[in-house]
Copies of this chain bind each other. A is one copy, B any other.
Amino acid sequence: MTRPTARVLALLELLQAGGTRTVVDLAERLGVDQRTVRRYVEQLREMDIPVDGVRGRYGGYRLARHYRMPPLMLNDEEGLAVVWALLVNQHAHSGPVTPLVMETATAKVRRVLPAALARRIDAVLRAVDFTGERRPGAEDHDDAEARPGADEGAQTLLGLAEAARDQRPVAFAYRTRQGHAATRHVQPHGIVAYRNLLYLTGFDADRQAQRTYRLDRMADLRLLPGTFEAPANIDPVAQVLGPLSAAPSRYDVSVLIRADPAYVRRWIPETLGSVAPASPPDAADGHDWLQVFLRAERLEWVAGTLAMLDRPFIIQQPETLKTVVLALGRRLAERSAQ
């Protein structure tokens, strides 16, 4: 019992006995100074063990009653669902928490599962190999970028959600795309999960306008005093998806493509364009043609997609797209000749 670690553990055991104990009492039993007992309590709290301090006469320290997880009565499928979900997320690393947290959470959950189920699930964990693939779908984002707020991701999400629910304005440091950091004052409306990223929509008090923010670019979230009135008709999803598909300097593209709808859909997600059967301009062959509308930031991307599809197409709009496709065709021809 000469080591601090052992004493902290002993303190935990004392508290686990139940009831409320004063610092004086604890200090005597552990053979250390009262101040040291307080420091130990501090340590336990840092380990997320909820030690309540009751002030005043008849006060003392006590353990919050639900510091142990009650046994989770999950059946086989449910137990697997929980562990599996954690595992997949850990590998994909989407969402607001780090893989490390996923791991400790998995361990804790596993420990409260019924022994028989735990053993079965261990077999699964050992048998299954996850390929090292990254989750695709990051085309729209610069993923190379570091995530400085990754550790506090959970707190940011929890805090924003509560603020939105309670209609309380928030402030946070925001790193813009250019790397500048600045403080934003926002009335949070909703949070949208899209393509493995989280976005906050809200009303920017400084700019007096609706804005969208990426949660992984936020830091130092804090509540501001007061409340706000949430506007009636807000659609956070539309607000997030809108700018992504209908950006300021956008092109409305209209093309006919002779292909299978499902095939086309592999390259043009729903959020970017519509795909519908169409009758061809010349009545030669009566079907197979699709009318595709889409909005794009760059016509080069559209040209590339048309090339990737490698199906007959007819460009209707805009005229410029024809030039871009022609240019791409020439570049390809040229390069292939080398």
Mark A residues whose CB is within 8 Å of B: 3-6, 8-9, 13-14, 16-18, 43, 46-50, 64, 66-82, 84-86, 88-90, 94-97, 101-112, 114, 120-124, 126-139, 143-144, 154-155, 157-158, 160-162, 164-165, 188, 190-195, 198, 236-237, 240-241, 262, 266, 269-271, 300, 303-310, 312-315, 321-323, 325-326, 328-338
Contact = CB atoms under 8 A, between A and B. Distances in A.
12 contacts: A8-B9, A81-B95, A82-B82, A85-B86, A109-B109, A127-B190, A128-B157, A134-B270, A307-B307, A310-B328, A312-B335, A321-B336
Contacts of A127: 160-161, 164-165, 188, 190-191
A161 B120 contact: yes
A326 B73 CA distance: 62
Nearest to A189: B127
A329 B336 contact: yes
A61 to B, nearest CB: 15
Contacts of A304: 307-310
Contacts of A130: 192-193
Contacts of A17: 103-104, 106-107, 110
Nearest to A155: B76
Nearest to A314: B338
A108 B300 contact: no
Contacts of A8: 5, 9
Contacts of A161: 120, 123-124, 126-128
A314 to B, nearest CB: 6
A105 B129 contact: no
A144 B264 CA distance: 13
Contacts of A101: 77-78, 81
A80 B97 contact: yes
A305 B46 CA distance: 51
Contact of A69 (B74, B192, B321, B335): B74
B308 A336 contact: no
Given A47-B9, A89-B88, A237-B131, A157 B80 contact: yes
A46 B1 CA distance: 9
A324 B72 CA distance: 59
B133 A271 contact: yes
Given A67-B72, A335-B314, A105 B131 contact: no
Contacts of A271: 131, 133
A97 B72 contact: no
Given A81-B97, A84-B96, 16 more contacts: A6-B43, A16-B107, A17-B103, A68-B73, A72-B108, A76-B155, A80-B154, A89-B89, A127-B188, A128-B157, A131-B194, A136-B269, A304-B308, A310-B328, A310-B331, A315-B338
**Most chain B Cβ neighbours within 10 Å, of A50, A76, A108, A309:** A108
Contacts of A102: 81, 85
Closest 3 CB pairs of A and B: A329-B332, A307-B307, A17-B107
Contacts of A305: 308
